[in-house]
Amino acid sequence: MSSRLRYLASLGLVALATLLGEPVRALLHPTNLVMLYLAAVVLAAFFLGRGPALLASFLSVLAFDYFLVDPSLSFSVADTEYLVTFAGLLVVGLVVSGLAARVRQQLADLGEREAQVEALNALSRDLNSALNLDEMIQAVVYHVGRDLSRDVVVLLPRDGALEKRAATPGFELPEAELATAGWAFRNAETAGLGAAHDPGAGTRFVPLKTTGGVLGILGVRPRRGGSRLIPAQRQQLDALANLAALALERARLGEEANRAQVLGETEKLQTALLNSISHELRTPLVSIQGVLDSLLEVEQGGENAAVLDHAARLDMLENAREETARLNRLVENLLDMTRLEAGALKLRLEPGDLQDLIGSALARLDEPLKHHPVKVSLDEHLPLIPMDFVLMEQVLVNLVDNAAKYSPPAAPVEIRVTCRDQEARICIADSGAGVPAAELERIFDKFHRVSRPGQVKGLGLGLSICKGIVEAHGGRIWAENNPGGGLAINVALPLENGRKAAE
């Protein structure tokens, strides 16, 4: 209600009290009619404010004297006792109007504080439920814009400058205002519209600061046709900014804790990796060095020359050759994993024959397969498959070598090739103990080894490398336990995937 209407309403209340008093003035003593005017003053004070209540107090005295006190329709007073009544009415009216107006203001202030608390609670709930920093910032922009009817921007530091992370749609900052925001960030003080520094700017910039320093800047700008912030709104803006700063600080500390945890886990992994690599590389090197030392001693006529006959020397050389091949596979696996993680693995796709692929892989595994018969089963009329022959050969070498390692001596290794559902599927099955169901997905993780009796040597990289190469071809790889025992690794390659793999 406008100021003019409130004063007119006050006048109307006095007029109403007069109209109600006129019919009963003959029945009651005029002094009792004062209560009608006191009621009008109280109503004016409570609903209309202090100014209209004061007006009602003065008008009540005049109306009571003019209309209800003899002689009526005159401001003269026949009985001087009414002067005391007039004074009492005026004083009581003024006091009551002041008290009622104060109560009214207190209720209004309480309502504002309740609205501010509710706004803070709503922002706090959304900040607590946010999953990441971006969601937190969006929540701040939404709530500040809604509660204060302002356009909002959040600026965070990056590479030595403030960067706009979120804002009301269409919010743009000119260079001059960015400079003002930078001043607010460096000095940890409010700047811009209505502040001590650059009060003529179009935006008010509030620093988001905690005990750890300034984390960013919250900027608010009046919408078209809007007015400046009143003191209560500035206090609410500061409270919202403090809450947002605490949330950003919590997010920052959480990210630092996560980074510290990741660094700790990475350090543990690196230590385990170095220990594992050192052990796996040292073992074949020690064997090779032992063979070379023994053969060198024979050539120099040492005391063991007579003991090491031709057959013994051949056996030692064969052992050295096996260890060298094992060392070469370890190094190849490490290099392949490095290329996969660096994204440096480039496919050279050409149509390839799966039968040739299997034959080439088996030719490289003469030694590991010398105690295991290999059963190969292929569908007739298999089509040519687009593949990088060298990399897919490495996949089969790793899978067949694993199958041989985990199969008992003389147990067969099976290779089955089928073609269905626009895929060529290669299944390599061993005759071992299989893998617990909970481990079937994890066996393709880097450095993951399934714990079981008679653990074989290795870094746990082979299956991870196979997975990376197969997926680079647009295919898939999975493991499953055979019903009759043993583990089967399945590789599925699409019949036409040249474009997808090349990408």
For residue 161, the tally of other CB atoms under 10 A from its CB is 10
CA atoms within 13 A on the CB side of 190: 16
In a domain, 312, yes or no: no
- Burial of 107 per CB tally in 10 Å (0-12, 13-18, 19+): exposed
- Average the pLDDT over 465-477 and give the result: 87
Helix crossing, 34-48 with 81-129: angle to 10°? 20
Q: Which pLDDT band holds residue 217 (cuts at 50, 70, 90)?
A: very high
Strand order in the sheet with 161-167: 161-167, 150-158, 213-222, 204-210, 191-192
Q: Above 80 in pLDDT, residue 160?
A: yes
- Average the pLDDT over 462-489 and give the result: 86
* Number of separate domains in the chain: 3
* 280-317 confidence digits (pLDDT tens): 677 778 888 888 888 787 777 666 665 667 787 788 88
Q: Above 70 in pLDDT, residue 403?
A: yes
* 47-79 confidence digits (pLDDT tens): 887 788 888 888 887 887 777 776 767 766 656
Round the average pLDDT of the chain to a whole number and report it: 81
Same domain (yes/no): 56, 144? no
Of 110, 143, 164, the last residue of a domain is 110
Same domain (yes/no): 106, 144? no
Same domain (yes/no): 7, 84? yes
Residues 476 and 492: their CA atoms lie apart, in Å, by 5
Residues 329 and 317: their CA atoms lie apart, in Å, by 18
- Could you tell me the two tokens for 497? 């995937």
> Ranked by mean pLDDT, which of 207-221, 333-347, 359-373 comes out on top?
207-221
Residues 213 and 210: their CA atoms lie apart, in Å, by 5
- CA-wise closest residue to 419 among 389, 380, 447: 380
DSSP string across 118-146: HHHHHHHHHHHH--SHHHHHHHHHHHHHH
Q: Which pLDDT band holds residue 434 (cuts at 50, 70, 90)?
A: confident
Please report where in the chains the tokens 């040292």 appear, as a residue. Answer: 282
Q: Above 90 in pLDDT, residue 367?
A: no
Q: What is the pLDDT of residue 490?
A: 92
Same domain (yes/no): 43, 76? yes
153 in Cβ contact with 177 (< 8 Å)? no
CATH code, 403: 3.30.565.10
Same domain (yes/no): 101, 153? no
Same domain (yes/no): 27, 139? no
Same domain (yes/no): 385, 482? yes
Residue 200, domain extent: 132-253
Same domain (yes/no): 140, 198? yes
- CA-wise closest residue to 487 among 471, 463, 464: 463
Buried b (16+ CB within 10 A) or exposed e, 289-313: eebeebbeebeeeeeeeeebeeeee
Residues 94 and 53: their CA atoms lie apart, in Å, by 8
CATH code, 139: 3.30.450.40
- Average the pLDDT over 344-349 and give the result: 75
For residue 68, the tally of other CB atoms under 10 A from its CB is 22
In a domain, 15, yes or no: yes
In a domain, 38, yes or no: yes
- Average the pLDDT over 444-465 and give the result: 62
The DSSP call for residue 444 is G
In a domain, 78, yes or no: yes
For residue 236, the one-letter residue type is: Q
Q: Which pLDDT band holds residue 498 (cuts at 50, 70, 90)?
A: very low
Same domain (yes/no): 106, 164? no
Which residues, 6 or more positions from 288, have their beta carbon under 8 angstroms from its beta carbon?
320, 323, 324, 327
Q: What is the pLDDT of residue 203?
A: 92
Task: Return the percentage of the chain with pLDDT > 90, whole number.
Answer: 18
Residues 421 and 470: their CA atoms lie apart, in Å, by 17
Same domain (yes/no): 81, 186? no
> Is pLDDT larger for residue 241 or for residue 93?
241
Of 230, 253, 276, the last residue of a domain is 253
In a domain, 202, yes or no: yes
Q: What is the pLDDT of residue 207?
A: 94
In a domain, 354, yes or no: yes
Same domain (yes/no): 150, 14? no
CA atoms within 13 A on the CB side of 216: 25
In a domain, 284, yes or no: no
- Average the pLDDT over 113-128 and give the result: 83
The DSSP call for residue 197 is B
For residue 337, the tally of other CB atoms under 10 A from its CB is 19
* 416-432 confidence digits (pLDDT tens): 999 988 899 999 999 88
> Is pLDDT larger for residue 265 or for residue 477?
477
Q: Above 90 in pLDDT, residue 17?
A: no
Same domain (yes/no): 212, 79? no
Q: What is the pLDDT of residue 377?
A: 92
- Could you tell me the two tokens for 81? 């006792």
- Burial of 195 per CB tally in 10 Å (0-12, 13-18, 19+): middle
- CA-wise closest residue to 6 among 104, 89, 90: 104
Residues 485 and 410: their CA atoms lie apart, in Å, by 15
Residues 212 and 245: their CA atoms lie apart, in Å, by 10
Looking at 245-254, 455-464, 469-478, which range is the least confident one? 455-464
Q: What is the pLDDT of residue 274?
A: 65
Of 212, 238, 253, the last residue of a domain is 253
Q: What is the pLDDT of residue 336?
A: 65
For residue 225, the one-letter residue type is: G
Q: What is the pLDDT of residue 502?
A: 37
In a domain, 88, yes or no: yes
**Helix or strand holding residue 85 (H, E):** helix 81-129
Q: What is the pLDDT of residue 371?
A: 84
- CA-wise closest residue to 393 among 348, 437, 358: 358
400 in Cβ contact with 369 (< 8 Å)? yes
Residues 65 and 390: their CA atoms lie apart, in Å, by 114
> What predicted TM-score, i.e. pTM, was given to this entire model?
0.47
Q: Above 50 in pLDDT, residue 500?
A: no
